Amino acid sequence: MKPPCEACKQKEETLSSILGEETVSEIVYQLFNPAASRSEKQNREESLIEKLIKRFLEEMRGEQLDELFDSKLLKWAGTPGGKWFRDYLKHRKAKQKAWEKLLEMVKRGEVNPSQISVEDLLHHFLSQILEELGREGMVDLKFQRDWLYGNVLVAYPEFTEKSEKIIAKKVLEEVFINLKGLREIGCHETEEIGWGVRQSYMLWDFDEQQHSYDLLDVQETLVKTALHDPVHMRISSEDLKARIPYHETSSSNVILIDASYSMRGEKFRGGIMAALAFRELLESEYKQDQLHVVAYNQKPKLLSRGEIVKLKPYGYTDIGQAVDFAVGLLSKGEGNKNIFLITDGEPTATSKRGQTPEESALKAAYKAGKADVLLNIVMLDRRPELRLICEHMARLNGRASITYVDNPLNLKEFMIKFFFDRRQSLSVHRAG
């Protein structure tokens, strides 16, 4: 029997294929970070989505929707007459019709997806969008019991490894928009001569004992040939020029994200966004560098792909154990070694018997310094007691920096800028 034609099979339509990957990426990012919404809602005209919903509500005026009701349902809703419940179901049905109509208009080319407000999509069609994203493997719908009404299950989306990659790219794009000109910095380099991936300005006479032909600078070679033989352009061995590449530095880094309960809210989201942006930068442009992302409360955990966006803050804060864990990870790394310690409070737990949480943190900072690890402490709280501990840790480390970030959502910009500034300072130092 002839096997079925794979090419003839009709591809299943997805939200990405209809609205486009860019629009869906923006939807995923705004689900993760609602603060990314940029639209002004004051004094704006009625949107296409609102017009569609209003239109279908008008068409449904007078419908009773009796097929959706029974006495038990009305009793459960606590409304014997059912007026508000009927209005709710009519509105939900109108939104479903508007959703289907909108997708149909996009597919027919009547509406450009780029002209549809992502904020409006999420506001009016959240349940439909989550269902479609679930089909594409970008979210998993999870259920948990409401803390107030124990017999009510509340659904919430959990991001996946696929959506984590999308979010990381969007976060890094936002960083480069906020820090204009940062992309022009390029790779971090030193003036040491060696093998690298980009050419330098240094021209040497070609020596086949030292150089490979891949290092030949054709343009400079032809210029020198033209100076002594402009008519016949015969290239001699003396004309050959080699361009010597820079030696690029490498670094090993650990981001320690405080995952204790006090970090809930924007502080926690800011830490996650910083880790995602830093990892995306290294994976796309600095592949020789290493990054480990660790979440810590009373116990540190090394996070793999897809786990960063699933983090939930809970528990206490054991800074000492987290720093020791990071130093252990960096002991296997190469190049400059850095720990970025993100916290909003003093240590409240320790795994070391006979030590207080503060003593454990101070000893860990001292040991990190002995291991030649730079400790970068990022404070998300201005309390004097936290600052006192952080300053003591910095003194014991000997190679530490302390920074206070006022807005946690700006933490990602600080991390990327610190990375570039640090690399440039190392390049200047080694060049000298």
For residue 279, list its beta bridge partners.
Answer: none
The domain spans of the chain are 15-32+46-158, 175-186+250-431, 190-248
Tokens encoding 297: 């409360």
**Helix or strand holding residue 326 (H, E):** helix 319-330
Q: Does the domain formed by 175-186+250-431 have CATH 3.40.50.410?
A: yes
pLDDT tens-place values along the chain, 432 residues long: 566 665 555 667 899 999 999 999 999 999 999 887 765 555 567 889 999 999 998 888 766 555 555 555 555 555 555 566 677 778 889 999 999 999 999 999 999 998 899 999 999 999 999 999 999 999 998 877 766 666 667 778 899 999 999 999 999 999 988 887 444 433 333 333 333 334 444 677 877 776 777 778 888 888 888 888 888 888 888 888 887 654 456 789 999 999 999 999 999 999 999 999 999 999 888 888 899 999 999 999 999 989 999 999 999 999 999 999 999 999 988 888 999 999 998 899 999 999 999 999 999 999 999 999 999 999 998 889 999 999 999 999 998 999 999 899 999 999 898 888 776 665 443 433
Do 138 and 166 form a contact (C-beta atoms < 8 A)? yes
Q: 380, 379, 254: which is closest to 323 by C-alpha?
A: 254
CB count within 10 Å of CB 107 equals: 13
- What's the pTM? 0.76
- Residue 300 to residue 295: CA distance in whole angstroms: 6
- Residue 166 to residue 173: CA distance in whole angstroms: 11
